[in-house]
Amino acid sequence: MTEGTEDSIHDLDVDDTLRVDAQGPNFFFHINDRLVAQVTDPDYPSGEVGFYVESVDAPNAHIHFDTLTIRNVELSMMCDINTMALYVQSGPGKTYSSFAVLSNGDTVPPLGLSPDGEWIKVKVEGSENEGWVFNSEGFVSCNAPVDLLPTVSP
């Protein structure tokens, strides 16, 4: 994943925390709540949890973990609209009809990502409607990588 040192790792007398967030083929590695690496493996869309640790520099090194916790990922993701007018389409494409308009400063919860990654499925605030917004050119910014969203079809 990476080589070198990491400033967030404590000295030997203080425990460190390794957290791995996985969503489909995307893996995000955090040490002491600091993102240190991101890996995508399209050959691994789902499966069992496994854990393997190795030190290349010291093959006989002892690596000890006091606690290993596995839990479901719970994302609290929100996306801000950064353009004067952004049409909400009924499907992931400009040929679909639009049924709402979002504007600069609006915030929407994302529900998924189109297979090509160009459209984000969102829930329109104040209604039960779900639609698609274009995910390009800085129109939308989210508080987490949109790659964490599940891929959904129209």
* Reported confidence tier of residue 47, pLDDT bands at 50, 70, 90: confident
What domains, with CATH codes, occur in the chain?
Answer: 1-74 (no CATH), 79-148 (2.30.30.40)
pLDDT tens digits, 11-37 = 778 888 888 877 777 777 888 888 788
Please report how many Cα atoms fall inside a 13 Å half-sphere around the Cα of residue 63, on the Cβ side: 13
| Helix %, strand %, coil % of the chain (to 5) | 0, 35, 65
pLDDT of residue 63: 73
Which has the closest alpha carbon to 133: 75, 148, 111? 111
The tokens of 54 are what?
């190795």
The answer to whether the Cα torsion of 103, 109, 111, 113 is positive or negative is: positive
Residue 55: strand pairing partners: none
For strand 26-31 and strand 18-23, is the pairing parallel, antiparallel, or unpaired? antiparallel
pLDDT tens digits, 58-105 = 777 777 777 777 666 665 789 999 999 999 999 999 999 999 999 999
The tokens of 107 are what?
């915030």
Q: Taking a C-beta distance cutoff of 8 angstroms, is the pair 13, 64 a contact?
A: no
Q: How far apart are CA 135 and CA 53, in angstroms?
A: 37
Q: What are the phi and psi torsion angles at 146 (to 5°)?
A: -65, -15
What is the rounded average pLDDT for all residues in the chain? 83
pLDDT above 80 (res 139): yes
Q: Above pLDDT 70, what percent of the chain?
A: 90
